[in-house]
A and B are shown apart, each in its own frame.
Chain A
Amino acid sequence: MVEVFNVRKLGCIGLLVVLLFAGLQSCSTEFDVTADNLDVPIVYCLLNTSDSVQYVRLQKTYLIEEAALEYPPEPDSMVFPGEIQITMERLQNGIVMETYRFQPDSNIPKDSGFFPTEKHIVYKTNAKVEANSIYRLYIYLGSKEKVVYAQTTSLGKLTVVDPMQLPLRKISLYEGNNYTCRWLPVEDAGLYQVVIRFHYSETRDGITTSHYIDWPQGFSTPGSSRDYLSKDISGIRFMNVLKENLAVDPGVTRTVDGIDFHVLSGAIELKYYIESTSPTEGALMEKPVYTNVTNGMGIFSTISQVDVTGLFLSAVTVDSIAYSRFTRNLGFLDHTGDRDSTNELADF
């Protein structure tokens, strides 16, 4: 009886020791707070119907232990190793008409910024995008043995009505005078955007250099108009844009060179993508980011672009830039080529 009791006692003590040991072993001060990186492919490709060269940007999700917004990733962690094949097909009535193969190109200069530009390869191909055709993009990733796939329908031709490519027709853009940009609706387009490019020259110590300021307008949606779509460019906002983008520098003389209009239309997928990545209003604070890329993230869509370049600003606009209350300190010459204050009109 005593032996049985002792055996049971020993068994209980042994069990306790095992449990205690297991408990101590499971206590660890190190936690793995991150899940495994899934290496999700991220693809950006906007086929431009106005260009003969098309580009694909391919990268992948990465994971770092540090604060992601403070430490940029290693260049290697943003790209897939191994074999990568990118091809694109154009289909007409369900039949593949053309096949294009993208080649890596590291010669395109990239902006400096948070992410490393080293190993940031862009893939390109020579392809003139046909209007209203189906395009399919295939990306084979050898290291993952995976195919990323996306499809889009190219846009129709974009026709800009105003401004005309007519330099004799001067553009007036000053306080109290706006410009209306007009274009014809494009079939299947989801959004439009007008970008103003203002050209000017700076002369310092006898050396003149050319510069420009890009002023993108807000997005326009197709709306219900079947005739014209339009965007009003504000004259007073234009003056403010110059004031905000140019530094006051007494040692510099500036001259107005001209203005370009870039009108873009984007397909419906691009509209969804921009809407899904724009700041949220309302109760739903975190929206899922739209993608039309299967087995990955990103966007494959088309844009159509028309550039109306080499236009001139009217003499009143040039004088307004030289003497208006917003821009008079920026050192611009008036339309006569001087800074004579007697040219200043009372309205400015």
Chain B
Amino acid sequence: MFRFFSKWIQYALVSGLIMVAGCTEPVDPGDDPIDVVTPVTGTLEIEFRVPGSWLPPSRVVRADLSIATSAENLYKGHFYQVANVYNSKLVYQFDIPPGNYYYQAGIVCLAEGDSCSAANYPGGRYGMKWAIGTATVLEDQTIHVVPQFTN
């Protein structure tokens, strides 16, 4: 009887050893194998002021704010980004890779009659004025520019 139990204990010990040996340390699966690279960006902040004139404020509104990577692209209309402009929004931000950018800001005259022509908007009603400039965006920095309209 005792021999039967001792054999049973031996089997149990051997089985236990095998099971323990079979247990390896859990392997850390690690992060996602795809490397997620956070793009390096800076911020171009454009304070888009509509210049005052003798025209009523609601008759001259923002029409366009676009940026391009070169002057040629700007003139050809190959913009890098185009902002949605609003009457109620003054400051517009572009989060873009560092580099040199060209921007254009356009305002349009909505007054009727010859008011727009008198205020030097070419073509009268729906005539536009443009302010074009350049800005250098640096990594993790905010560059603030204010387009300047002439005349």
Contacts and interface: CB of A to CB of B under 8 A. Distances in A.
B58 to A, nearest CB: 10
A178 B86 CA distance: 13
Contacts of A180: 84, 86
Given A168-B64, A169-B63, A161 B87 contact: yes
Contacts of B44: none
Contact of B108 (A166, A315, A335): A166
17 contacts: A161-B86, A161-B87, A162-B88, A164-B87, A166-B108, A168-B108, A168-B126, A169-B62, A172-B82, A177-B81, A180-B84, A180-B86, A314-B82, A316-B80, A316-B82, A317-B82, A345-B80
A162 B82 contact: no
Interface in A302-335: 314-317, 335
A345 B81 CA distance: 11
Interface of B: 61-64, 66, 77-88, 106, 108, 110, 126, 128
Given A166-B108, A168-B108, A170-B64, A161 B80 contact: no
Interface string A149-188: 0000000000001101010111110000111101000000
A170 B82 CA distance: 8
B63 A166 contact: yes
Nearest to B39: A347
A249 B46 CA distance: 41
B79 A315 contact: yes
Interface of A: 161-162, 164, 166, 168-172, 177-180, 182, 228, 314-317, 335, 343, 345
B28 to A, nearest CB: 32
Contacts of B80: 316, 345
A172 B94 CA distance: 13
A316 B79 contact: yes
Given A166-B108, A168-B108, A168-B128, A315 B77 contact: yes
A250 B112 CA distance: 48
* Top 7 A-B pairs, shortest CB-CB distance: A314-B82, A172-B82, A168-B63, A316-B82, A179-B84, A172-B84, A162-B86
Contacts of B82: 170, 172, 177, 314-317
A335 B68 CA distance: 15
